[in-house]
Structure 1
Amino acid sequence: MQHSLDMLNFSRIFVIAKNVFQEVIRDRILYIIGVYILILAAAIRLLPEVAANTDGKMFLDFGIAAMSVIALIVAVFVGTGLVNKEIEKRTVLMLIAKPISRSEFITGKYLGLSAVLALLIAIMTGIYLIFLQFGHIHHSANSIVIAAVFLFLQTSLIAAVAISLGVFTSSLLAIVLTLAVYLLGNITQDLLKFGKLSNSPGIQQLTQALYLILPDLSRLDLKNYAVYGLQALPEPSALIANAGYGLIYSALLLAIAILVFSRREF
């Protein structure tokens, strides 16, 4: 009996995730892919580094940076609206009135968006590798694929932040706060070092608190390693630990989102 219930819960989550995936794919994905192709086509023609340097390091860096920015935009702008728009339109009342728990609702939304990000990053990575191949730019495909996997983990974490903030605040404020978390999350280690250099106990406590609370997104950023090749990548144990960190942090954010959402009255 319990096994059947667990399967039923999973199927409800799958239906919600599928609906999110289909809606986002239908509305936006082709335009986003088209924009990325245009950006790479313009870059490979215009960046002087491509012509001056056979390694094409500038294009390598630009291509994966553009991929990161596009995935971030999708995670932030779609993620903040996934739950919030249901609340604002009052359609959430019909959804939670059905035999769907609030935890299934949040989990399904997150998994649907994560699937979109996975597909988007996979397609952009393939396009990026094609441009590198036809541009005769020296690169390590393995390093780029690993960096793309960690980009997915990073943007999935940001999607969890966006959904969590979208549960209890407006879409605009959630967007601003999520972008702030992203920016600060990339410099948490620098903030901690700054605090240690400061003579002010208050600043030291603040930077330590920010370091503990904010996600350390630099652990999931392998863009530079993709540019400089496989030999520069961290050890496999470090990669596994960093991937685990991203997954656990995302799970904690979802747990917070579920807790807040379960206490909301509609």
Structure 2
Amino acid sequence: MAANPPLKTQGVISSRLADETVEIPAAWRTKQFVGIGIVLLLAAWYYTIGWHSPTGDSQKADSRSIFDLVGFAAIGALIWLTTPVAWTVAATTFQEAIRRKWMSALLGFAVVMLAISTFFTWMQPGEEQKFLRDYGIGFTAIMTLIAAIFLGVALIPPEIERRTIFTILSKPVTRLEFLIGKYIGLMITLLVNLAVMTVIFLLAYAWFVISREGIGKAFLADGLGVSRNGLVFDLVNLGKALFLNVGTLSIMAAVAITLSQYLSGITAIIASFIVYFVGQSASYWERLAGGTGAASEAARPVLPPALRVVVEAIYFVLPRLDRFEARERLVNDLPIGLNYIAMAGASGAIYTAVLLTVAYFSFSDREF
């Protein structure tokens, strides 16, 4: 008797049946068109006018390029790909993230340390203002970075290990929608944490200035006292610096998600931190590669051709996280130009789009 032929098994669960389509509601498409229209207007305004400010305001008043527009295009593409299904995944991801006990503990610790930050100014007598600004920006960046990396690495692999990915992808959910939803949910979580920390720190900073100078003198831009340019200027500048951190978080969240597709949990976490610290030193690699860094031509090292090619390759793939760093301008009472924020955000959007594309190719080829 002939053996029964082996049954043909399906290695990958289809994320959407071939004859099943999910129509996007007209109201949702309208919102997407409005969002994309706003991005297009901002891109046109930026590229033609550039939110122009004096070079001293941002040091990059006239360095616009076509690559900045690519960043705006990436933001528009993300808006278009954010379907109602992806938004549902994002909302679920956000709810799961805020229910994690370690996330609540991390946010609580950050809030307490920022609220009492004014009590640490004794560590730098005579420069309390600079210390407080540097402390607030640096501490907020570290806390949100930890959240971005640990959450990003733990988004997709647990779904595969618990096999809940079968249930999710058996519904009318494409893998692209799942990935984008996870990323947006992570970013919402990080933005909420950043917003809470920002409010607490700005309130602590305002209390410090007012308690030192009085509410009347605190708002005067007289070049004297703790707030030499006025409390309003300080708060706006601090707000801009903290907003720049969104660019770092968007890149590092994408880095963590992408690395989690190729590496184990702890390895992906370590690699993400390495990417962060190397990305913060991107200007150093630029000088090594013979770019337009801050160093003079005489100060740039002369590398052998083969080594220069390696350095240029490293610099090419590095995320320019140093573009989101503004603490030096803060401690020196220099304004942060809006055009600089726009250029940094555009470059961050490009890198994020590339990383999410790499993550999608890996995720789409996986068999569960």
TM over 0.5: yes
- 2:244 aligned with 1:244, yes or no? no
Matches within 5 A, 1:73-112: 73-112=146-185
> How many angstroms apart in 1 are the aligned matches of 2:267 and 2:171?
29
Matches within 5 A, 1:120-135: 120-135=193-208
Residue number in structure 1 paired with 2:324? 220
- 2:239 aligned with 1:145, yes or no? yes
Instruction: Report how many aligned residue pairs link the two structures.
Output: 263
1:55 CA displacement: 4.8
Residue number in structure 1 paired with 2:308? 204
1:48 to 119, 122, 127: 122
> Counterpart of 2:246 in structure 1: which amino acid?
F
> How many angstroms apart in 2 are the aligned matches of 1:20 and 1:149?
23
Q: How large is the RMSD of aligned CA atoms in angstroms?
A: 2.3
1:4 CA displacement: 4.2
User: Deviations along 1:20-54, whole A, 9 cap, x unmatched?
Assistant: 1111112244422320133235542234256x326
Residue number in structure 2 paired with 1:32? 106
> How many angstroms apart in 1 are the aligned matches of 2:157 and 2:182?
11
Contact kept? 1:188, 1:210, Cα under 8 Å: no
> Counterpart of 1:259 in structure 2: which amino acid?
F
Residue number in structure 2 paired with 1:170? 264
Contact kept? 2:90, 2:183, Cα under 8 Å: yes
> How many angstroms apart in 2 are the aligned matches of 1:176 and 1:6?
43
TM-score scaled by structure 1? 0.90
Contact kept? 1:36, 1:67, Cα under 8 Å: yes
> How many angstroms apart in 2 are the aligned matches of 1:227 and 1:254?
35
User: Deviations along 1:155-195, whole A, 9 cap, x unmatched?
Assistant: 11100110011122211111111111111111112012134
Contact kept? 1:18, 1:112, Cα under 8 Å: yes
1:154 CA displacement: 0.9
> How many angstroms apart in 2 are the aligned matches of 1:109 and 1:232?
35
> How many angstroms apart in 2 are the aligned matches of 1:113 and 1:175?
16
> Counterpart of 2:352 in structure 1: which amino acid?
S
Deviates more, 1:189-198 or 1:251-260: 189-198
Contact kept? 1:147, 1:225, Cα under 8 Å: no
> How many angstroms apart in 2 are the aligned matches of 1:62 and 1:94?
45
> How many angstroms apart in 2 are the aligned matches of 1:238 and 1:209?
25
> How many angstroms apart in 1 are the aligned matches of 2:23 and 2:117?
56
Summarize the Cα distance change of 1:165–1:5 in structure 2 as closer, same or farther, 3 Å threshold. farther
> How many angstroms apart in 2 are the aligned matches of 1:12 and 1:57?
46
1:94 CA displacement: 2.0
Deviates more, 1:16-25 or 1:167-176: 167-176
> Counterpart of 1:199 in structure 2: which amino acid?
L
Residue number in structure 2 paired with 1:62? 135
> Counterpart of 1:242 in structure 2: which amino acid?
A
- 2:337 aligned with 1:263, yes or no? no
> How many angstroms apart in 1 are the aligned matches of 2:332 and 2:166?
51
1:232 to 312, 331, 335: 335
> How many angstroms apart in 1 are the aligned matches of 2:311 and 2:98?
40
> Counterpart of 1:171 in structure 2: which amino acid?
G
> How many angstroms apart in 1 are the aligned matches of 2:263 and 2:151?
15
Deviates more, 1:28-37 or 1:86-95: 28-37
1:264 CA displacement: 0.9
